[in-house]
Structure 1
Amino acid sequence: MTEKILILDFGSQVTQLIARRVRELSVYCEIHPFNHIPEIGDDVKGVIFSGSPCSVREEDSPRVDMSLFRGKLPLLGICYGAQLLAHTAGGEVFNSGHREYGRAKMTKVQSSELWEGVSEDSQVWMSHGDTIMSVPENFEIIGSTDSVKVAAFKIKDESTYGIQFHPEVTHSLEGKDMLKNFVVGICGCSQDWTSDSFVDSTVANLKEKLGNDKVVLGLSGGVDSSVAAVLIHKAIGKNLYCIFVDNGLLRKNEFEEVLESYKNLGLNVKGVDAKEQFYTALAGLSDPEAKRKAIGKTFIDVFDQEAHLIEDVKWLGQGTIYPDVIESVSVKGPSATIKSHHNVGGLPDYMKLKVVEPLNTLFKDEVRLVGKTLGIDPNILGRHPFPGPGLAIRILGDITPEKVDVLQNVDAIFIGKLKEKGLYDQVWQAGAILLPIQSVGVMGDERTYEKVVALRAVTSVDGMTADWCHLPYEFLAEVSNDIINKVKGVNRVVYDISSKPPATIEWE
């Protein structure tokens, strides 16, 4: 039985960060919406309430039945979670008149297990409009800042704590220590959840779950589907059938290179050249979502056709990871538009396959650690994320094989140079975008009117937020020069310096 911490999500933008910090302590945790509380078994060692954009003073603000947790399990309320604990116990929570946002110094008012090894004055990060003004008699104030008297509290005779700040963000310099004090010291978690233990338990579970059944899995060449495939392969061997579809929208030479890399993993992989089917389906489409849907439908048709060639397949393997799961069961219900390229997404009912998703409890960086434990080629594990619809959403406007050829060549120069100059691993994701405009140029003595490409490179941890990558000017100059000289039809190169938010990583 794996010990776990339960995180109840009240709608904060940084709830996933709490989970990441807990997992960095080698402790397993799960995020569940406050209105979908799972059954609490002996494996749950403690509970964390997240922050929220709501105010506890609002009638329809998120609430939970405190009797499920208080006095029964160690409990930590963060920001809104702390305010909710105070408010429901009869404390006073008011609007402070201004939003308290940014760094603050928290002073330890009382000694506490939560402060073990924490400095007397510790820098923390505040982000709240409401403030706890007073607490009931059985609450002990254990931490204050200059402007917030009740920055942290403990409820007497309970392992229940509340903190007004966000320990999960890096600006709270000792936040991880505080979370460790709660998770390890107060909850008593043993810190034995590692990539090795994950591989052992997952392979054992897959063997039991799948038995001698056959599984079909669509490979993309990326980290998630590759790690999922190797895990399933370790459990059932040749009963795993992998299909790698060339949709004509991959990077230059990617189909051949990826198939070659899979040979070394011992996987049973079939490569399918379906370029023409995809180009036909995309003909004349310019709207991004229409392109996504056409690609998704064509992929399903091709995948279904190939899957039917394998007799008695019972399961569909997918590389779904934890952020996908959280997004589809969020506090506000499923996202308005869950993009149609998530994994295989939306396979038709008539395939009647059960789904197996061995990575659906892991974040991206954890998937890479598991891949490393499995001995997967670092070139696969270190690959930048690549969108499911491929170059179709990096070609603004309609798709033609000629445009794909141009962008593949531009992309190959850009990515190749990043690797050559030792910059590839410093970038989270990079690529080129073909713009639906032409610009005037001069080549030799001739005036040209040709295509414009934009280069995009970002740094990020998980893609939720991203900053544009400050690549050296000399490097950008060399890449631009190479592209214009070597890719026929391009006479201008621009560099995208937008961060996410407000921009997104991809242009479509």
Structure 2
Amino acid sequence: MTDTQPQSGGTDARPVLVVDFGAQYAQLIARRVREANVYSEVVPHTWTTEQILERDPAAVILSGGPSSVYADGAPTVDPSLFDAGVPVLGICYGFQAMAQALGGTVAQTGQREYGGTHVEVPESGVLLTGSPTEQSVWMSHGDAVHEAPDGFHVLATSAGSPVAAFEDRDRRLFGMQWHPEVKHSPLGQHALENFLYRGAGLRPDWTPGNVVAEQVDRIRAQVGDGRVICALSGGVDSAVAAALVQRAVGDQLTCVFVDHGLLRQGEPEQVERDFVAATGVVLKVVDAREQFLGALAGVTDPEEKRKIIGREFIRVFEQAAREVVAESGAHGEEVRFLVQGTLYPDVVESGGGEGAANIKSHHNVGGLPDDLQFELVEPLRTLFKDEVRAVGLELGLPDAIVWRQPFPGPGLGIRIIGEVTGERLDLLRAADAIAREELTRAGLDRTVWQCPVVLLADVRSVGVQGDGRTYGHPVVLRPVTSEDAMTADWARVPYEVLARLSTRITNEVPEVNRVVLDVTSKPPGTIEWE
């Protein structure tokens, strides 16, 4: 949710702008548009019509929201937006805001509709072309449109919504009371695609192949003949970013892998083996374990941890850049560019733009120091995780890299609740390795998005092992399912797999005597504990 187009992470495609009125589903709407192979971005409702039109949108979608359109201080839509010639779709609150701005009537009906709702479709029009005359949809509202604005045709009605969908085909203005973006509206994606393809006249041409070609051109334009280093962690994000940059500028790129001591078991070896073998990229390995542990000594606050890790990353790369120049013999030639695998969810969660809450600082967004010496190259900044995987496959990266479980940039440092020490890292690494091994053995690598193992380092619990009393640490298993990390649900891992996990961890990691399961969705919880 950015106020300006990112310097190197944007797209040349004209966006479908999703105007966020505070909806829990705003990002989901953008995702569904992208699933229709049309590029989309989320922007705040505080943007003026002039700001929206400056982005030259292909279409605009007004999201749902928690307010009543007639309440004091409720977000409104400038009617001039509807005279700008841009196709507009209103959803839920956005539908009501459109109706009110254009002279329709919105009021309480006394009959709220939440969840599955039956609607009648007397006229399909453009928006509901191909829909049955009766269908089930997902509603969430207490107000309703009672009268459509002049020039609009009513397409659907329900018991609590006299006007449940409408359209003005000539002006390319459309709206629906229900949420087409959720799976509980079985024909919702069909309606969205009707708006995009039939109503707005867009083509489904935003594909992984086009993204690769577009970003390669962007990177070349930004970097020119400059030297570049990439922060390679071994995860899918930095790997895909590095592969994109390598395709664009070849041996101008050197990848730098920092072993900061916060990695999982076997990861340094995996990076050198898998990524270098797949790409042939020049890789420089930096051992900075003592530097990071020293900087984190005594620190327990999670935001401070993230910022320290972000700062130390940059300091390491600054030194690595000087060494890259020295080792290449290119004396006096500075490394100006730093590649990062920043994703769209990172930007949103770090408060990237007006109207976005700062949920937590990602080390590569909110955690960067003010005196950064590099110009960032962030070719994935507008992509969700599943889109990054598709781009990785398009680039020919092997499955072992593309389908690797997500791992946070700050590593195990934010999976230790309390101070980060070498002893605690070793303990957590052992427990994490067991969890990953058992999930792989059970064939759950594609089902479980990721399974953070969290060490409650400052908590101890009484146990009994070998007929004796123990006073050990608990660890938390956090298996989740997700499409893009914007939302997540806890994974229903089979009990027998959980039992093996618990038995092995408590048997093989002596300092751990209790294994617990986190069954919180996102929201309200984030995937990582810190």
2:525 maps to amino acid: A
Letter in 1 for 2:26: T
TM-score, length basis structure 1: 0.93
- SS of equivalent to 1:205: helix
Offset from partner CA, 1:470-489 (integer Å, 9 cap, x none): 21222122222222222232
Deviates more, 1:84-93 or 1:52-61: 52-61
Maintained 8 Å contact 1:34/1:331: no
CA shift for structure 1 position 135: 2.6
- AA aligned to 2:274 is S
Match of 1:227 in 2: 240
Match of 2:4 in 1: none
Q: 1:507 to 1:98 in 2, by over 3 A?
A: farther
Task: Provide the secondary structure at the position in 2 that maps to 1:308.
Answer: helix
TM-superposition CA deviations, 1:294-323 (whole Å, max 9, x none)? 322222222222223334212222212223
Partner of 1:451: 473
Cα separation, partners in 2 of 1:342 and 1:350, compared to 1, 3 Å: closer
Question: 2:137 touches 2:184 (CA, 8 Å); kept in 1?
Answer: yes
Partner of residue 392 from structure 2, selected from 350, 361, 371:
371
Aligned counterparts, 1:345-360, within 5 A: 345-349=367-371, 351=373, 353-360=374-381
Q: CA deviation at 1:347?
A: 3.6
Cα distance in structure 2, aligned partners of 1:61 and 1:445: 64
Counterparts of residues 331-410 of structure 1 (less than 5 Å): 333-342=355-364, 345-349=367-371, 351=373, 353-410=374-431
Give, as a single letter, the amino acid of the residue that structure 1 aligns with 2:64.
G
Structure 2: gaps of 5 or more residues: 1-11, 326-332
For residues 477 and 68 of structure 1, the distance between their equivalents in structure 2, rounded to whole angstroms, comes to: 57
What displacement does 1:426 show? 0.9
**Kindly tell me: are residues 338 and 104 of structure 1, through their superposed partners in 2, closer, same or farther at Cα, counting changes over 3 Å?**
same
Whole-angstrom CA distance in 1 between matches of 2:512 and 2:348: 41
**Deviation of 1:442 (Å):** 3.1
Aligned to 1:431: 452
Which blocks of at least 5 consecutive residues in structure 1 are unaligned? Answer: none
Amino acid at match of 1:417: E
Deviation per CA, 1:175-225: give whole Å up to 9, x if none: 111111110112121212211121122212322332211122212211111
The aligned residue for residue 10 of structure 1 is: 21
Over 3 Å counting, the alpha-carbon distance change for 1:418 and 1:280 in structure 2 is same
SS of the counterpart of 2:38?
A: coil
1:472 — aligned with what?
Answer: 494
Which residue does 2:5 correspond to in 1?
none
Shift of 1:41: 7.5
1:430 alignment partner, SS class: coil
Match of 2:124 among 108, 111, 128: 111
How far residue 345 of structure 1 moved from its aligned partner, in angstroms, is 4.0
CA distance in 2: counterparts of 1:446 and 1:42, whole angstroms: 67
Query: Which shifted more, 476-485 or 219-228?
Result: 476-485
CA distance in 1 between partners of 2:52 and 2:192 (Å): 24
In the alignment, the residues of structure 2 paired with residue 372 and residue 415 of structure 1 have an alpha-carbon distance, to the nearest angstrom, of 23
Q: Are residue 302 (structure 1) and residue 316 (structure 2) matched?
A: yes
C-alpha change, 1:429 and 1:45, in structure 2 (3 Å) is same
Question: Partner amino acid for 1:370?
Answer: V
Residue 194 in 1 paired to residue 215 in 2?
Answer: no
- Which residue is 1:274 aligned to? 288
Match of 1:181 among 194, 212, 215: 194
Residues 338, 469 of structure 1: alpha-carbon distance in 2 compared, 3 angstrom cutoff? closer
Cα 1:355/1:69, change in 2 over 3 Å: farther
Aligned counterparts of 1:444 and 1:52: Cα–Cα separation in 2 = 56
CA distance in 2, matches of 1:191, 1:350: 39
**Contact preservation (8 Å) 1:438, 1:452:** yes
- Whether the 8 Å CA contact 2:303–2:360 is kept in 1: the answer is no
Q: CA deviation at 1:328?
A: 5.7
After superposition, the Cα gap between the structure-2 partners of 1:322 and 1:337, relative to the gap in structure 1 and judged at 3 Å, is closer
Determine helix, strand or coil for the equivalent of 1:425. coil
1:31 aligns with 2:42: yes
CA gap of 1:400–1:45, structure 2 versus 1, over 3 A, is: closer
Whole-angstrom distance in 1 between the partners of 2:514 and 2:350: 40
1:39–1:171 Cα change, 3 Å: closer
Distance 1:211 1:104, change over 3 A: same
| Counterparts of 1:380 and 1:140, CA distance in 2 | 51
Q: Does 109-118 or 27-36 show the bigger shift?
A: 27-36
SS of corresponding position for 2:127: helix
CA contact (8 A) 1:396 1:433 kept: yes
1:129 counterpart residue number:
142
User: Could you tell me which of 21, 29, 52 is aligned with 2:32?
Assistant: 21
1:56 to 69, 76, 84: 69
Which region of structure 1 is more displaced relative to structure 2, 303-312 or 258-267? 303-312
CA offsets, 1:53-90, max 9 Å, x none? 22221343323433233361322111111111111122
Amino acid at match of 1:294: I
Cα distance, 1:278 vs. partner?
Answer: 1.3
Q: 1:320 matched to which residue of 2?
A: 342
In 2: Cα distance, 1:467 partner to 1:156 partner: 39
Q: Is the deviation greater in 404-413 or in 6-15?
A: 6-15
Distance 1:59 1:112, change over 3 A: same
Partner of 1:145: 158
Q: Identify if the C-alpha distance between structure 1 residues 60 and 172 changes in structure 2 by more than 3 Å, giving closer, same or farther.
A: same
SS for the counterpart of 1:93 is: strand
What is the DSSP-based 3-state SS (H/G/I as helix, E as strand, rest coil) of the residue aligned with 2:243?
helix
Q: Secondary structure at the match of 1:183?
A: helix
- Greater Cα shift, 245-254 or 200-209: 200-209
Q: SS where residue 428 of structure 1 aligns? A: coil
Letter in 2 for 1:22: V
Query: Structure 1 residue 369: deviation in Å?
Result: 0.2
Shift of 1:410: 0.8
Residue 235 of structure 1 deviates from its aligned partner by 0.5
The answer (yes or no) to whether the contact 1:94–1:133 under 8 Å persists in 2 is yes
Q: Letter of the 2:41 partner, please give it.
A: E
Superposition RMSD on alpha carbons, in Å?
Answer: 2.3
Aligned to 2:437: 416
Query: Residues 219 and 460 (structure 1 numbering): CA distance in 2 closer, same or farther, change over 3 Å?
Result: same
How many positions carry a matched residue from both structures? 507
Aligned-partner residue type, residue 317 of structure 1 = V
Please tell me whether the aligned partners of residues 11 and 51 of structure 1 are also in contact (alpha carbons under 8 angstroms): yes
The answer to whether the Cα contact below 8 Å between 1:35 and 1:64 also exists between their aligned partners in 2 is no
Q: Distance in 2 between matches of 1:44 and 1:500?
A: 30
Where does 1:229-308 land on structure 2 (aligned, <5 Å)?
A: 229-264=242-277, 265-308=279-322
Q: 1:153 to 1:206 in 2, by over 3 A?
A: same
Gap change, CA 1:135 and 1:421, over 3 Å in 2: closer
What TM-score results when the alignment is normalised by the length of structure 2?
0.90
Pick which of 157-166 and 305-314 moved more. 305-314
1:26/1:226 CA distance change after superposition, 3 Å: same
Could you say if the C-alpha distance between residues 120 and 489 of structure 1 is closer, same or farther in structure 2, counting changes exceeding 3 Å? same
Amino acid at match of 1:93: V
